[in-house]
Chains A and B, each alone.
Chain A
Amino acid sequence: MPSATESKKSIIGLRIGQSYSSIAIINKDGRADCIANEDGERQIPTLVAFAGEEELAGTQAKAQLLSNSKNTISQFRNFIGKSFTECNSSAIKGTAQLVDKDGVAAYSVEFMNKESIFTVQEITTKYITSLRESAENFLGQPVAGVVLAIPTYFTDSQRLALKDATEKAGLRVLQLINEPTAAILAYESSMKPEEYNNNLHNDRTALILDLGSDSLDVTVMSIRSGMFTILVTTHDPDLGGAAFDDLLVNHFVNEFKRKTQIDISQNKRALVKLRNAVEITKKTLSSSSTSPCSVESLADGIDFHGSINRTRFEIMSNKLFTKILDVISNALKENNLDTQLIDEAILVGGASRIPKLQSKLRDTFKNTITVIRQDFEPDEVVAYGCAFQGDLICALDDQMIADSIDTSVTLVPHLSKPIGVLNAENEFVVMIPANTPLPARRIFQFSNMIDDQKKFYVPIWEGDIIVSKPSPPTDDNLDIDSNLDTSLQERHLISPAKMLAELVLTDLPEKKMNELKVDITIEIDINKKCIISAKDPISNKSVELEIQFTQ
């Protein structure tokens, strides 16, 4: 009997950023989408303000940043779960004072005409509560659960503290996932299953560049059969969108000084005003070549009108680009990874929109097949990933989720070197690439080289990576198909290093060229027993052998 379509469980994906947060849901089409708060903002400022007897959060709190900065709290996310001594209070720029409350970091604000002290966790709870209310206003029903994104560098205690704060805000936390993982999941989940299968096992290595407001995170992740393993992750707290803002602020401070002979470098109020204006200027520069910057009554009642063109900005921030690229290359180098092994680079974070950064990145991967992807909004992609994950696990109960994310399940051996077959032309065909989590199973179908081929020879090899061999330069504008072709060429870089075993399948039926199909299966089970088999599905003839791992 047809029943009215049951309203989908309202699961949200939540990313709490250092400066901005976003809430994502899965809409009716199965796509992830960010929802706007009551003020129409999809990017909700991570701010909490106390004004008189009111508690403000998000967009409303942003207005207080200027007029009521003493009672406005910003940039608090990274302090959660930390003791007072661990917090770098110098990072606070003209907002509420960080104080020590029994060793826990807390903010001192004036609330209800009284000096009040709120711990970072309490502030976070207040903020998340406001986000929850926004989500519920949008959905028109209570939020059933949330998947939270967290930076990879968060410690266990920070993760726990954030989870507690979220639960106190009245949300059921289904899972916490790493921000880069969420980003890559957003890309993976939006892929159709057919697409997935056609792309062989969709094994890729991705570099996720998360250039947030005030930190740079570089993560290299291997994707094997839809499973993600973080290979490298680095974190630079000094690089980020704020660093670009600083450059622009300096630039305009100098310009203002030149124009009016007024030095505002010590005028905190003027700097906050200018910083707010510069943020917009910077965003505009990503899409247009020049961008104005105007601040009414910047200092001494004098209005400021200035502008900057993109070239000037790029020259100014050249140092920063270099730094960012250095972070990437260092991360790769330290982990014996080559840029050529990176299949795609995924840009996350608002600052990653800067055109010059993208072109610099392309330069870095110039001689590789790397695809730079920013299909999704860099600001929102993390939240999307969370929403996808929430949608996936909302039907599971808490115990099931807890069991699944237990280290006994997640912590598994990964194949260190690829295993493959040498084909008729002595080319190495990788069947199971390196970094594949075990247990794993791969089935490839091979065909006969010549007519009436009665015997199949299957040499199993372990590969090794040859980095030095450069691959022909590729055009950035190549479409996906050609990229896939080049990805094959990339695999040629991996050469067979060690023969593991040989297999011969005999007495096969006589067939024309390419018409006899033989399934080659490599399965490594939980006990690290590797079984390799060759089978003709028609005649049911098969050979099977077992290889052990070396001690």
Chain B
Amino acid sequence: MSQSHLVLGVPPSSWDESSFKIHCGISEGVIRNIEPVGRYFLAHARRKLNNHSFSEDEHIQAEANAKQLEVIHDEDSEEETPELLSRDPKDWKEQDHYAILGLSKYRWKATDEQIKQAHRKKVLKHHPDKKASSGNTNDDGFFKCIQKAYEILSDPVKRRQFDSVDEAIDDTPPSAKAKGDFFEIYGPVFEREARFSNKTPVPMLGDINTTKSEVEAFYDFWYNFDSWRSFEYLDKEDTDNTDNRDDKRYIERKNKAERARYKKEDTIRLRKIIEDQALSLDLRIQKFKQEEKAAKEAKKKEKEDAIKNAKEAAQRAAEEERLKKEQAEAEAKLKQQEEKKEKANKKKMMRNERKSIKTHVKTHNYFYPPNEPPPIDVIETQLSELDFLFEKLSLEDHQNVRKQLDSIQGRHDAKQILVKEASRLVSSGVLPVDSIKYFKSDSIDVDVTENQAQKTTNIEEHKVTEEMPKERPWNVEEISLLIKAANKFPGGSLNRWERISEYVADHSGLPPRTNEELIKKSKEVQKGTVALDENDVRKLQHQKKHADTRITEHPSMREATIDYDAISASTANGSSTTNNTWSPAQQAQLERALQAYPPSWKGEGDRWDKIAEAVENKTKKECKLRVKYLAEQVKAKKAAQST
């Protein structure tokens, strides 16, 4: 627009010295609606709403813009060294783009706006046209540098590539041994590395008072750091330099490998900063660890104390128990000793009694009339029978018998006492009937006439009593056979009981039972089948077991004498038969022989040969077995007594 008409003249000559004159007012305005659109309307609305005048609003707006401007004004101070100005634009890869634009103190922090403004400023200053006009040589090298710098920095992708490898920023991790405040050293490090983060905001190191959760979040973030740092900028060769497709591919591959390598190195570097240095040097981590450790130790101690207490209590309890036990043991020992003593006493007393009884018998001249020497075999029989008797008699009985014997004089009376005693034992089943012969009331003593009647009654009584035990005890086999037979020959069948008896006898190999016995037993079985069965079964099992253990208990013996083994087995199965083969006389002979030839005997020939000679109708082997059997009997009896 031409300025010609914007010219003011001088006041007319008639003008007085006053500075102004007002003639009349402005014509009244028309109220209209402004269209509420456009940025100028917005400015109007702002003024109107805030009741600001034009100048006030301008002032406020200017202030708002001031911050940005301020930053840019600062940059004027950044001087351009001759070195910088003489840069060769061809070496753009090496140039510091920020320094070229005068932004070296902002670097990656520079905003896009700052870059734009800085570029404009530099262009205005260094444009080739301007230089040419001021008479300089038309050296536009620096201008090219500026353009290149702007090209890189204004493109977000290229700028990132440049920022990734910005040499002006020291990205070497601080020395792990660096002395000083941890936060002062590592704070800037993390701030610097944060620029590569894809994720924002990036948690910062914080200070010593940062909470544990924050610290953990911080390390967690940095462990999983998502970096945009890339190394394209360091590519040694450019794919654009060649037209050959193969070359291009080759270069591309090489560059790619190189980039990957750099990237890996960078990741390792960051890892090292975090893991090897920051984490290990972080006072907070140490603090947390100590706290944790202290807490753990406190807990551990608590636990240990508890264990210790428990242990002590247990020890005390054990000690007490032990003491108690010892006491009990001592008591038990004492008791045992006492018992033993008592037993020994008893034994002694018993021996004394026996001796005195035997003396009595002797004094009575073995119940033979005085002056008439009793035959040796009678004496032997009497003595062996007495031994039998004594075995079965208790101490009291002994004393009783002795006292009776003491009190009486007559040999018949004395004998009567013994007979009575023997018959008592026999009748109570303690003594086998046939073991007592001499002292049986009916034993042949022709001279004995007195108390004949009493004797016969005794015998009768004996007979009656003997009737009962005559009935053989039923063994399990027989019972089961009986049941079988009873089932086989049901009620009503011809000659039922005879056939049952036959059947049982045939199958058990035992002498046949009488009809009465069978009927009685079968009734019993019928009444209490279960109880009997169970009892008998247990008995059977027990027997079998006993036999088995016996065999296994003496394996050496089994090996040594196979025959003996068979015999012993037969003994186990039917001990009664073997037992029966030994008459009391033979028994007495054996006993005497054993006394004559004790195990310590050292005469000529075999000990057992001598014994066998002493016993009528018995071989050496039979004698051995008998002794063994008796020894077992004694042993079993002892065991039964002790339990």
A interface with B by C-beta (< 8 Å): 1-5, 175, 177-178, 181-182, 185, 188-189, 198-200, 221, 225-231, 385, 389, 392-393, 403-405, 407-417, 419, 421, 423-425, 427, 429, 435, 437-439, 441, 444-450, 453, 455-458, 462, 484-485, 488, 498-506, 514, 518, 523-526, 528, 530, 543, 545, 547-551
State in angstroms the CA–CA spacing of A530 and B39 once bound together. Answer: 25
Which listed residue (B9, B22, B28, B163) contacts A501, Cβ 8 A? B22
Chain B, Cβ-Cβ closest to A407: B33
Which residues from B are CB-within-8-Å of A4?
A: 156
Q: Nearest Cβ distance between residue B458 and chain A, in whole angstroms?
A: 130
Please state if A230 and B35 are interface contacts (CB–CB under 8 Å).
Answer: yes
Q: Do residues A441 and B54 form an inter-chain contact, with CB atoms below 8 A?
A: yes
Please report which residues of chain B, range 362-404, place their CB below 8 angstroms from some CB of chain A when the two chains form the complex: none
Contact indicator B6/A445 (Cβ below 8 Å) = yes
Check A523–B54 contact: CB distance below 8 A. yes
User: How many Å lie between the Cα of A547 and that of B534 in the bound state?
Assistant: 140
Question: Can you list 12 residue pairs at the A/B interface with Cβ under 8 Å?
Answer: A181-B35, A225-B40, A226-B38, A409-B45, A410-B34, A425-B7, A500-B23, A504-B19, A514-B3, A526-B51, A545-B22, A551-B28
Complex CA–CA separation, A421 to B30 (angstroms):
22
- Given A2-B160, A412-B31, A177:B37 Cβ within 8 A: yes
State the CA gap A286–B9 with chains docked (Å): 54
- Chain B residues within an 8 Å CB radius of A392: 38-39, 42
Q: Is B520 an interface residue (CB 8 A)?
A: no
Give the residue name and chain of the A residue nearest to B6 (CB). A446
B452 to chain A, nearest CB (A): 140
B151-177 CB mask vs A (1 if < 8 Å, else 0) is 000001001100100000000000000
Q: In the complex the two chains form, is B38's CB within 8 Å of A389's CB?
A: yes
Bound: A518/B5 CA distance, A: 14
Distance between Cα atoms of A325 and B283 in the complex (Å): 87
CA gap between A532 and B355 in the complex, in Å: 167
Question: Complex Cα distance A525/B25, Å?
Answer: 15
CB neighbours (8 Å) of A413 from chain B are 29-32
Interface presence of B487 (CB below 8 A): no
Q: A409-B44, A448-B7 are in contact. List 19 more A-B contacts (CB 8 A).
A: A5-B156, A175-B37, A178-B35, A185-B35, A226-B41, A392-B39, A411-B33, A412-B32, A414-B32, A416-B28, A423-B6, A456-B10, A457-B8, A457-B12, A523-B54, A526-B51, A547-B22, A549-B25, A549-B29
Taking a contact as CB atoms under 8 Å apart, the answer to whether B34 and A412 are in contact is yes
Chain B contacts of A424 at CB under 8 A? Answer: 7-9
- Whether B23 and A501, one on each chain, are in contact in the complex, defined by CB atoms closer than 8 angstroms, is yes
Q: Which chain A residues border B109 with CB–CB below 8 Å?
A: 1
State how many angstroms separate the Cβ of A448 from the closest Cβ of chain B: 7
Q: Which residue on chain A has the smallest CB distance to residue B115?
A: A2
Smallest Cβ-Cβ distance to B26: which chain A residue:
A549
Q: Is the CB of B36 within 8 A of A175?
A: yes
Q: Are A502 and B20 in contact (CB under 8 A)?
A: yes
Indicate if the CB atoms of B26 and A547 lie closer than 8 Å: yes
- Most chain A Cβ neighbours within 10 Å, of B12, B20, B42, B163: B20
CA–CA, A393 and B9, complex, Å: 46
Q: Which residues of A contact B6 (CB under 8 A)?
A: 423, 429, 444-447
- Closest A residue, CB atoms, query B40: A226
The answer to whether A404 touches B25, judged by C-beta atoms less than 8 angstroms apart, is no
- List of A residues within 8 angstroms of B3 by Cβ: 447, 514
Contact of A457 among B15, B24, B26, B39 (CB under 8 A): B15
* B27 CB within 8 Å of chain A: yes
A485–B41 CA distance with the chains assembled, in angstroms: 28
Whether B195 sits at the interface, judged by CB under 8 Å, is yes
- Given the interface pairs A229-B32, A455-B11, the reply to whether A385 lies near B27 with Cβ below 8 Å is no
Contacts A409-B44, A543-B19; is A177 near B35 (CB within 8 Å)?
yes
User: B531 within 8 Å of A by Cβ?
Assistant: no
| B42 proximity list for chain A (CB < 8 A) | 392-393, 404
Question: Are B9 and A1 in contact, CB atoms less than 8 angstroms apart?
Answer: no
Task: State in angstroms the CA–CA spacing of A115 and B510 once bound together.
Answer: 117
Whole-angstrom distance from the CB of B356 to the nearest CB of chain A? Answer: 128
CB neighbours (8 Å) of B7 from chain A are: 423-425, 446-449, 514
Q: Tell me the bound Cα distance from A413 to B31 in angstroms.
A: 4
- Measured in the bound complex, the distance between the Cα atoms of B28 and A416 in whole Å is 7
Min C-beta distance of B175 to chain A, whole Å: 27
Q: Known contacts A425-B5, A504-B20; is A227 also within 8 Å of B26 by CB?
A: no
Instruction: Enumerate chain A residues within 8 angstroms of B23, measured Cβ to Cβ.
Output: 498-502
User: What CA separation (Å) do A446 and B3 show in the bound complex?
Assistant: 9
Contact, CB under 8 Å: A528 / B29 = yes
Residues of B within 8 A of A551 (CB): 25, 28
Closest CB of chain B to A458's CB: distance in Å?
A: 6
Contact of A550 among B28, B33, B159 (CB under 8 A): B28
Q: Does chain A have a CB within 8 A of B108?
A: yes
Which chain B residues have a beta carbon within 8 Å of chain A's beta carbons?
1-3, 5-12, 15, 18-42, 44-45, 47-49, 51, 53-54, 108-109, 112, 156, 159-160, 163, 195
Q: Which residues of B contact A453 (CB under 8 A)?
A: 10
Contact (Cβ within 8 A) A228 B20: no
Q: Which residues of A contact B20 (CB under 8 A)?
A: 501-504, 543, 545
* Minimum C-beta distance from B329 to chain A (A): 89
Contacts of B1 in A (CB 8 A): 198-200, 484, 488
Inside 8 A of B108's CB, which chain A residues have their CB? Answer: 1-2
Closest to A181 in B: B35
A residues near B195, Cβ cutoff 8 Å: 1
A500 touches B8 (CB 8 A): no
Complex contacts, B160 vs chain A, CB 8 Å: 2
Chain A residues within an 8 Å CB radius of B12? 457
Whole-angstrom distance between the Cβ of B413 and the nearest chain A Cβ: 138
Distance (whole angstroms) from the CB of B410 to the closest CB of chain A: 142
Q: Report the minimum CB–CB distance from B282 to chain A (whole Å).
A: 26
CB-CB under 8 A for A416 and B29, given A457-B9, A502-B21: yes
The residues of B that contact A200 with a CB separation of less than 8 Å are: 1
B45 shortest CB reach to chain A, Å: 4
Closest to A428 in B: B5
Does A500 contact B35, Cβ atoms closer than 8 Å?
no
| B36 & A409 in contact (Cβ 8 Å cutoff) | yes
Chain B residues near A523 (CB-CB < 8 A): 53-54
* Chain B minimum-CB-distance residue to A437: B34
Whether B32 lies near A435 (C-beta < 8 A) is yes
| One of A227, A438, A525 near B29 (C-beta < 8 A) | A438
The residues of A that contact B15 with a CB separation of less than 8 Å are: 457, 502, 504
Q: Distance (Å) between the CB of A223 and the closest chain B CB?
A: 9
Residue in chain A with minimal CB distance to B11: A457
For B39, list chain A residues within 8 Å (CB): 226, 392
Cross-chain contact A414 with B30 (CB below 8 angstroms): yes
Shortest B164–chain A CB gap in Å is 11
Q: Contact at A385–B35, with CB atoms within 8 Å?
A: no
Instruction: Report the minimum CB–CB distance from A76 to chain B (whole Å).
Output: 26
Q: Which residues of A have CB within 8 Å of B33? A: 229-230, 407, 410-411
Q: Is the beta-carbon distance between B8 and A185 smaller than 8 angstroms?
A: no
Assess the B36–A417 pair: CB atoms within 8 A: no
Find B8's partner among A3, A228, A423, A549 (CB 8 Å cutoff): A423
Complex CA gap A332/B1 in Å reads 29
When distances are taken between beta carbons in the complex, the residues of chain B under 8 Å from A189 are 38
Q: Are A449 and B9 in contact (CB under 8 A)?
A: yes
Contact A462 B37 (CB under 8 A): no
Q: Is the CB of A2 within 8 A of B163?
A: yes
Most buried by A among B12, B19, B27, B159: B27
Tell me, in angstroms, the Cα distance from A399 to B309 when the chains sit together: 75
Contacts of A504 in B (CB 8 A): 11, 15, 18-20
Would B37 and A500 count as touching, CB distance under 8 A? no
User: How many angstroms between the C-alpha atoms of A417 and B25 in the bound complex?
Assistant: 12
Instruction: Tell me the complex Cα distance, A123–B351, Å.
Output: 136
B31 touches A414 (CB 8 A): yes
A177 touches B36 (CB 8 A): yes
A181 contacts across to B, CB distance below 8 A: 35, 37
Residue of A nearest to B197 (CB): A1
CB distance from A403 to the nearest CB of B (A): 6
Determine how close the nearest CB of chain A comes to the CB of B1; give it in whole angstroms: 6
